[in-house]
Structure 1
Amino acid sequence: MVQVTFIEADGTRRTVEAREGEPLMISARNIGVRGIVAECGGSAMCATCHCYVIETPGGDLPAPRADEADTIEFNANEPRENSRLTCQIMVTPALDGAVFQVATGR
């Protein structure tokens, strides 16, 4: 399992045991990370799993695909350069120790 930490809007840090090969959103939703709603179920259409990448000790994440970038640009609350949709981040060992700030607003 890969450990990833989410920082919720109130500052609460929640570390999840994420399963390799699954979208990060699934692990966050399964343990009830506040702010990860995942309305579209992982199809990169709603931005209700929007987070900011704070730290990736295992190296940079792959760049977002065009559909993810478009969803962030047009649907996300306060998009930033480090914005990502957790439904589009596949869990790999390189993600171990990563930290994400849950975007607020939805």
Structure 2
Amino acid sequence: MQGKMKGRSALYTFKKVAVGGTFDQLHKGHEELLQTAFSLGNQVVIGLTDDQMVLSKTLSELIEAYEVRKKHLQNFLRKHQFFSRSKIVRLNDSLGPALTDDTIKAVVVGPYY
């Protein structure tokens, strides 16, 4: 966490960060990744892979549909009071808005990336 910046308290390292994934069967690893993103950024853009992108994954037929995964993600965000600081966007490529949105100042990834 940073201290004071220009007369106001800076609670977060970055104004906006991005994180992305399939977030199938939301688990502790996903939760840690998301919590890290929210500890670093005031606003978090969450890229959620769409159903078309999921088709390239191994055992894609076992992965929940986009809308189901989105609902589980929204429930997690509400439970942890992150919902108002988040924006879920549909990912149809591996980089999503991280390349096109110049207000995103960091991308949060897990150690497995």
The two structures share one fold, judged by TM-score above 0.5:
no
Larger Rg: 1 or 2? 2
- Return the structure number with greater relative CO, CA threshold 8 A, min gap 6: 1
